[in-house]
Amino acid sequence: MSEVPRTRQTPVQAKDERPKWETAKTLEDYWEERKTFFNEEDHAKAWKETARIVEEESNDMVDRLNKEIDALLTYAGLFSAIQTAFNIELYKRLSDPDPVLVALGMMSAQLSSFTVNRALVNSTGPTFVFNQSIPAAVPLWIVVVNALWFSSLISSLSAAFIGIMAKQWLTQYKSGVSGTERHTARLRQLRLNSLKRWRVEEIVGVVPVLLQLASGLFFAGLLVLLWNLNRTVAIVGSIFVGFLAVFSLSTIILPSIVMHCSYLSPPSRVLFELTRPCRRALCYFCGQLSLWIAYRCDFRRATPHGNSAVDYHVSYSLDPKGTPDAGRVIHQLL
């Protein structure tokens, strides 16, 4: 029995032949055929490229956060040292009486020891002993300044504490990454997803907010102190602090008002999210107002031609001239 010769496939027929995984009838056959679609070399190249991409993204994020924390920790250390020097000089006034008040009290006690008798003028009577155990009243401005400055010191130290904890998290993130490309890629992606899920970047963003709050409290206490010591110095200090406050508030508020503003910071992002419902309500109100104005303008142009107000309102509601739902909206407004 002679063997039937096989017909040789043309290049066009070989090109038109579909792979077996596309014509599989069951899911098991599909996955079985897909295993041989890529060879081991293709798998190795794909995992190597995936590991490189994940490593670059994770390293960029970790390095950026580390640099930001280092700069913030440096500022927090310098600010806390300066703040402590001011607190040391003023916190004593909370417990010890004012030396000026003590001197005035002693002078008053000495003067009260003199009595006037008929025989001798300015003769001394029994000496009045000044009781220093009675605590003098602490001025209110001293309490306010101490409250502001100690709150500022606590805020700066809290920022440093959070920054140190965040650096520990980032150090642990980069440790223990070794093995094959597939293992390292999966491990880095898992840790990167964990950083995003647990809001580590947002927690690091709290550090500059605390430092800005600490600076604001320090400047407020400094102005209170200056206004109770010297008026001229207080005016000069208030001018500079006012310029700084206007600049800071402007950079925080502008991203919530102006689109594509580059003054992005953690406080501006928080304000943007808080004011999102207000902006939506304002846009909706402006849209309704523009429809109402357009209706009034068209109504004034149409009434001189003999159309009544009721007829025109009905016709406009039925034919809003290309504006979807304009008639319904105007009907609701009116």
Tens-place pLDDT, residues 109-135: 666 655 555 554 455 555 545 455 555
Tens digit of each residue's pLDDT (9 = 90 or more) over 62-84: 999 999 999 999 999 999 999 99
Choose between 285 and 2: higher pLDDT.
285
Rounded CA-CA distance 130/333 in Å is 79
Q: How many other CB atoms sit within 10 Å of the CB of residue 96?
A: 12
Quote the mean pLDDT of the chain.
78
Is the distance from CB of 24 to CB of 31 less than 8 angstroms?
A: no
The SS3 of residue 114 is: strand
pLDDT digits (tens, 9 = 90+) for 220-279: 999 999 999 999 999 999 999 999 999 999 999 998 888 888 898 888 888 888 888 888
User: Are 326 and 291 a contacting pair, CB within 8 Å?
Assistant: yes
Q: Looking at residue 211, what DSSP letter applies?
A: H
- Residues 62, 170: contact at Cβ < 8 Å? yes
Q: What is the pLDDT of residue 288?
A: 87
What's the rounded Cα separation, in Å, for the pair 59 and 67? 12
Mean pLDDT of 143-157: 95
Q: Residue 114's beta-bridge partner residues?
A: 124
Band (319; pLDDT cuts 50, 70, 90): very low
pTM of the complete model: 0.67
User: Structure tokens of 126?
Assistant: 């029994």
Residue 331 φ/ψ region, left for φ over 0, alpha for ψ in the -120 to 50 degree band, beta for the rest: alpha
**Helices and strands counted in the chain (H then E):** 12, 2
Degrees, nearest 5: CA angle 162-212-152: 75
Kindly state the DSSP code that residue 136 receives in the 8-state scheme: P
Q: What is the mean pLDDT of residues 189-215?
A: 92
Query: So where are the chain's domains?
Result: 14-113+133-208, 276-333
Ranges of H-type helices in 35-98: 40-90
- Confidence at residue 146, expressed as pLDDT on a 0 to 100 scale: 94
Tallying the residues shown for the chain, one arrives at 334
Task: Give me the pLDDT at residue 108, please.
Answer: 64
DSSP letter at 124? E
Question: Quick count: other Cβ atoms within 10 Å of Cβ 217?
Answer: 21
**Do 259 and 272 touch, CB atoms closer than 8 A?**
no
Helix (H) or strand (E) holding 330: helix 326-333
